[in-house]
Amino acid sequence: MSWKLIIEIAQALMLARMKQTLIAAIGVTFSITMFVSLLGFMNGLNTLLDGLILNRTPHVRFYNQIKPNPNQPIDQVIDPESTWNVIRSIKPSNSRLSIYNSESIIKTLEGDSRVKGISTKVSAQVFYNVGSIDLNGLVNGINPEKETELFFFDDYVTTGNPLDLNQSNSIILGKGVADRILADIGDVIQVTTAQGSQLRLKVVGYYQSGLADFDNVNSFASISTVQKMLGESNSYLTDIQVKLWDFNGAPEFANDYRDIFGIEADDIQTVNAQFETGSSIRSLISYAVGITLLVVSGFGIYNILNMMIYEKLDTIAILKAIGFNSSDVKRIFISIALTIGILGGAIGLILGYVTCLGIDQVPFETEALPTVKTFPVDYNPKYYSIGGIFSVITTYLAGYFPARKASGVDPVDIIRGK
């Protein structure tokens, strides 16, 4: 039979059971709406949480680590193969924190096509002097332009301008530090390094990452200011931070250069392994819940079509008696299921997008995340594609089995029974 006739019959059957058809379509619509809005909200939240770590963490960090010297004098005097040498309480060797020959290392890294950008840093352990009290902290000497370009530094500066760090003897305090020492913008504070050097710095801004432990200790100044604070030359650097085009290649990149440079190299996957696992689990849960909604709606369509077949057995018998074969009957009921799935799915995608727009306007203000004003939502097109594909697949499967049952109806038995 022609598809035009099959579609007309399917349309007549749906209109005859309009209430059940609408219920099935509403089930699909609700499932797709919740699927899209749930994934958009959950992944928007994941992106926000990931950004707290990933935005300000280099993909690969090169630095020197103070470690005990494995080569002890006694091993050079006594043959280690014929004796056992037990040395207790080995102290770290008198090695330097700064990276040796940092300029050549930076030039080598810049020549690698995998590198998106490089930012250098000088870290200094300090005490914030507040009257007779000294508070422990860390001042990070940075290049504000590079930090803004690669690590979104300006997104976390809640007061002030990051470029003000280019002024001599200026500092952006972590919000937790500022609250503890009661420092306002424009105040001059005094810091003391672990070596005993003192420097007075002008507060030009506040930094708030959303991680309280970080903000209670860390502050930021220019590289030259921290070098002067430590009494070191312009070549003194403690960290080389690398941002890659593809952060998934960070472990391989770190391994490639760790032995060449003879310094430590930490990749982002190793440093934040637990955080990445948590993000993956949250995404998996949101997908599982969304797909479950679609499967449940599929069972609803299956039940409705089963009831329709039971009530329309005489119609099916007449169709087969006048020349419709089993394949034609199967196409009729699959067409009904696909129509419900496509229409319900399309409306669900539209309502899902509207719901996401509504969530995106709901105020979400917290002191821990001052740059976030509304609930985060991800509008990735793949969620809509997955929802649309699953709505068609689930409704097709929900209609296939009742359709196969209908195609096996023997018209003689139905007519004889009537």
Tell me the per-residue pLDDT of 332-355, one tens digit each, with 9 for 90 and over. 878 888 888 888 889 999 999 999
What 3-state class would DSSP assign to 310? helix
Can you give the pLDDT at residue 369? 65
d(CA 135, CA 187): 17
What 3-state class would DSSP assign to 217? coil
d(CA 295, CA 36): 15
- What's the average model confidence in pLDDT over 177-195? 88
Question: Mean pLDDT in the chain?
Answer: 81
Query: Residue 273's pLDDT band (boundaries 50, 70, 90)?
Result: low
d(CA 403, CA 327): 9
Lowest-confidence pick of 45-59, 73-87, 100-114, 367-381: 73-87
Lowest-confidence pick of 144-153, 173-182, 195-204, 281-290: 281-290
Q: Is the pTM of this model over 0.85?
A: no
Q: Cα dihedral sign for 242, 243, 245, 249? A: positive
Q: Higher model confidence: residue 61 or residue 373? A: 61
Query: Residue 71's pLDDT band (boundaries 50, 70, 90)?
Result: low
Has residue 133 got a pLDDT over 60? yes
What 3-state class would DSSP assign to 56? coil
Strands 133-142 and 218-222: parallel
d(CA 388, CA 342): 8
Phi first, then psi: what are they for 231, rounded to 5°? Answer: 70, 35
Query: Residue 205's pLDDT band (boundaries 50, 70, 90)?
Result: very high
Query: Residue 418's pLDDT band (boundaries 50, 70, 90)?
Result: low
Query: Residue 93's pLDDT band (boundaries 50, 70, 90)?
Result: low
Can you give the pLDDT at residue 9? 77
Structure tokens at 63: 């630095």
Can you give the pLDDT at residue 32? 85
Query: Residue 96's pLDDT band (boundaries 50, 70, 90)?
Result: low
Percent of the chain with pLDDT over 90: 9
Q: Higher model confidence: residue 114 or residue 341? A: 114
Q: How far is C-alpha 337 from the geometric centre of its chain's CA atoms?
A: 37
Can you give the pLDDT at residue 353? 93
Can you give the pLDDT at residue 335? 84
- Evaluate whether 149 touches 56 at the Cβ level (below 8 Å): no
Q: Answer left, alpha or beta for residue 289, where phi above 0 means left and psi between -120 and 50 means alpha.
A: alpha
d(CA 121, CA 103): 13
Lowest-confidence pick of 30-34, 100-104, 144-148, 396-400: 396-400
- What's the average model confidence in pLDDT over 288-310? 72
Has residue 149 got a pLDDT over 70? yes
**Predicted confidence (pLDDT) per residue in 3-54, tens digit:** 777 777 777 777 777 777 788 788 888 888 888 888 888 888 877 777 767 7
- What's the average model confidence in pLDDT over 327-335? 80
Phi first, then psi: what are they for 116, rounded to 5°? Answer: -85, -40
Can you give the pLDDT at residue 78? 64
Can you give the pLDDT at residue 68? 63
Can you give the pLDDT at residue 383? 85
**Predicted confidence (pLDDT) per residue in 220-271, tens digit:** 999 999 998 888 888 888 889 999 988 888 888 988 888 888 888 888 888 7
